[in-house]
Chain A
Amino acid sequence: MEFADALLVSIVTASTPLLLAAIGELVVERSGVLNLGVEGMMIMGAVCAFATSLTTGNPYLGILAGIAGGAVMALLFAFLTLGLVANQYATGLALSLLGLGFSGMIGEHYVGTPGVKLPTLDIPVLSDIPVIGDAIFNQDILFYMTIALVFGVSWFLFKSRTGLILRSVGENHNSAHALGYNVNRVRLYAVLFGGVCSGLSGSYLSLVYTNLWIENMTAGRGWIALALVVFASWLPWRTIAGAYLFGAVLILQFHAQGAGWEVPSQLLSALPYLATIVALVFISRNRTVARVNTPSCLGQSFVPDR
């Protein structure tokens, strides 16, 4: 494999978990819910996927377990914020902390044990294309799913009726309620979808990216995913650009460190985060696009009066 091939493959691998988590959170936020628990849901997905695949030897069962891990956390979040009308910000933060701690407990036995790697699915002919072939057409099932998800979510939000209802709930929950939509039920499904995506993202980390279980292995990727949603101005297509920009900077700084640049390695490690902040600032400058797409009810609880 040539250097460019390898570089591209590693960038795609670094970006996929971010894209997965971000596309899930994008749907959640479009319904008007701010889920700051992405990090916790991801790491629960990671540990469940790792443990299950190791015990059963089947990475696909691991993925299912990862989905379940994220979904259970999402259900808890939905119960607290939609059922009990707890503050979304506080609940999300608490779930992130809970997930980090709880996953550490579950994963204690697995530290340092090599996991089961998710096999790649080689698409014949296409994967032989130079440079991009390996990066795009010789990947695992999660990568293909991720790309399909971005297509699917984009179609769902802007072309389907259910997507229109979901957006209306996030835009003005009082009006949506007045028209007869069950605001909190729509939000429950959105939050569950977000949990599933976070769980998938976590599975990808422990089954593909590291293939090891390490405590706190999400390392803030959940927060980056949250930032990506804003970066994307709540438009699915833009999350791809955001995720790959971040992934590229992350990988390039590894190579820069390896090449022995005369820059403190801490500064290079911080580069992806700096790049995210800079990109966010530039995106926020175009307030019109941001305002039109920002769900107006983001972060607000809804209690119907009946």
Chain B
Amino acid sequence: MTSVPLLEAKGLTKRFGTLLANDAVDLVVQPGEIHALLGENGAGKSTLVKMLYGSLEPTAGEIIWKGKKVHLKDPAEARKLGIGMVFQHFSLFDSMTVVENIALALPKGQKMSDLAKRIEQVSNEYGLPLKANNLVADLSVGERQRIEIVRCLLQDPQLIIMDEPTSVLTPQEAELLFKTLLRLASEGRSILYISHRLEEVQRICDTATILRHGKLVAQCTPSQETASSLASLMVGSSVKSVEREKADLSNAPVRLQLEHLDLPASGPFAIELKDICLSLKGGEVVAIAGVAGNGQSELFDAISGERATLADAVVIDGQKVGNKSITIRRKLGAAFVPEERLSHAVVPSLRLSENVLLTRHGSDVPSMTRKGMFIKRTKTGKVGQRIAENFDIRKGEPDPNAGSLSGGNLQKFVVGREIDRSPTILIVSQPTWGVDAGAAALIRQALIDLARKGTAVLVISQDLDEIFEIADRIAVINKGSLSEAKPVEEMTLERVGLLMGGVHGDAPDDVDLSIPAKATPEDGGSNAA
């Protein structure tokens, strides 16, 4: 029996100006399957699904739904057909309640009170409990995702598109999600699952379509491939793995110390930092894991000096600098790489050489300026050039505007600019966010190499694979509190996951760490946490 595919895309193409985001992509999704859409950041996965969901108009190509050609003029049209989507960056409204958020995505004519009942019923049925009248702003990232999923389910979709659903979840939350997905597939619904995590794709997906640079490169069955064969299909070449020797810290000096660091919340939806203690020695990489929005940016701001604390809460090389400016901290040898590269780390409309000066105007006064008043352009130009060479930055012209670089190249510049200073302390937030695998490997290697030369490196990241790859010690931030930093050998993915969910201190023996891992799809989702 040959069944009609649920969804078929033929030659879908999307062009943004000169950029060809999708180039004649074909895709076939069968009823009841979990279909993975694999690819690196920027491979065009999100563009493809946005076309399938009607929020982008294809430049060329056609979409066939249950054997019939359709034109999706907007997402409402797609929803009417039975296509639902769970967004990567949630499309939720913070200052509204759960029921209001869900009502917005449903056709009109429902009473709010009825809807609230249905939400609680459906969400419990699928093991994704929700309270209909809670304010979204008060919910955790995992709970927000539940809203998206329940919102999607209430439309009784036959195809559910999920854009990187696990990138914001703790390992345990992800496990719960997999159970829900398998249950949905068993009900005959199809799931188009976007991810770049090979391990989970191999575990739960029936088929996979792989994109690279906007083009379709392969269609395969993930369970018959190896992780490395999938990876090379995704990346196009094999990625160099990061090399790491164990650090010898016996005589290493303490470079950075956070002592009972408190920072009040900056607003009603912001996080308060509570009694954070951490000490970093020169030569080691310490990583801070955590689900986004648990105080990472607040912690970065406090260490970098964007927000002042008590003087003795932040100690750099023995100097109390908690109430001192960023420039003073930089002069003591600290360097900072913030998370948002375009809005925070560089001025997009300035040239690379000018951006070099932005973080080094205080520490490199004699070499880069004349008497601190005039810029030595040849010197800053040379430094820019040196960074570009050392970090393999691909650029069109010798000294382009920072905004014209691609995300990966710009990130290499931002990290390279600070490493080029040979800092004694380096604080990096999300070092490889949205960066392709090649650039990510280069940046991670550079961070390790820098540490082994005697620098104390603090990495704040949400990417657990990255953390386990580069860190000597791992701490977890949750609701503004930081767990004790433990050597990487003593940490497991599960344990970090538990800490991310809020079990502090040593995981006691009576906490059965294997609960989420053992759970099988057959249990259904009724006993959710």
A residues apposed to B, CB below 8 Å:
161, 164-165, 167-168, 171-172, 174-181, 287-288, 291-293, 296, 305-306
Contacts and interface: CB of A to CB of B under 8 A. Distances in A.
Contacts of A306: 56-57
Given A287-B267, A291-B269, A167 B105 contact: no
B79 interface: yes
B91 A292 contact: no
Nearest to A174: B91
B267 A167 contact: no
B94 A171 contact: yes
Interface in B83-130: 87, 90-96, 100, 103-105, 108
Given A164-B103, A291-B268, A292-B268, 20 more contacts: A165-B104, A168-B104, A171-B95, A171-B96, A175-B90, A176-B104, A177-B55, A178-B75, A178-B91, A179-B104, A179-B105, A180-B54, A180-B74, A180-B79, A181-B104, A287-B267, A291-B95, A291-B269, A296-B94, A305-B16
A175 B91 contact: yes
Interface in B39-59: 54-57
A293 B95 CA distance: 7
5 contacts: A164-B96, A164-B100, A171-B96, A292-B137, A296-B95
Contacts of B90: 175
A258 B79 CA distance: 67
B268 A178 contact: no
A293 B135 CA distance: 12
Given A168-B96, A288-B268, A292-B268, A180 B91 contact: no
B76 interface: yes
Contacts of B77: 180
A168 B56 contact: no
Nearest to A171: B93
A305 B55 CA distance: 9
Q: Which of A175, A291, A306 has the most CB of B within 10 A?
A: A175
Given A288-B268, A291-B267, A291-B268, A168 B55 contact: no
Interface of B: 16, 54-57, 74-77, 79, 87, 90-96, 100, 103-105, 108, 135, 137, 267-269
Q: Which of B54, B75, B95 has the most CB of A within 10 A?
A: B95
A164 B104 contact: yes
A306 B135 CA distance: 31
Interface of B, helix, strand, loop or mixed by DSSP: loop
A224 to B, nearest CB: 26
B176 to A, nearest CB: 24
Contacts of A161: 103, 108
Contacts of A174: 91
A167 B92 CA distance: 12
B57 to A, nearest CB: 5
A293 B57 CA distance: 34
9 A-B pairs with the lowest CB-CB distances in the bound complex, closest first? A180-B75, A175-B91, A180-B76, A288-B268, A178-B91, A171-B93, A180-B74, A291-B268, A292-B95
Contacts of B87: 178
A99 to B, nearest CB: 33
A161 B103 CA distance: 8
B108 A167 contact: no
A257 B396 CA distance: 72
Nearest to B270: A291
Contacts of B74: 180
B94 A172 contact: yes
Nearest to B91: A175
A273 to B, nearest CB: 28
Contacts of B16: 305
B443 to A, nearest CB: 29
Q: Which of B79, B92, B268 has the most CB of A within 10 A?
A: B268
A180 B96 contact: no
Contact of B93 (A172, A287, A288, A305): A172
A289 to B, nearest CB: 9
Contacts of A291: 95, 267-269
A44 B319 CA distance: 64
B289 to A, nearest CB: 28
Contacts of A305: 16, 56
A136 B474 CA distance: 69
Contacts of B92: 172, 175
Nearest to B16: A305
A220 B105 CA distance: 41
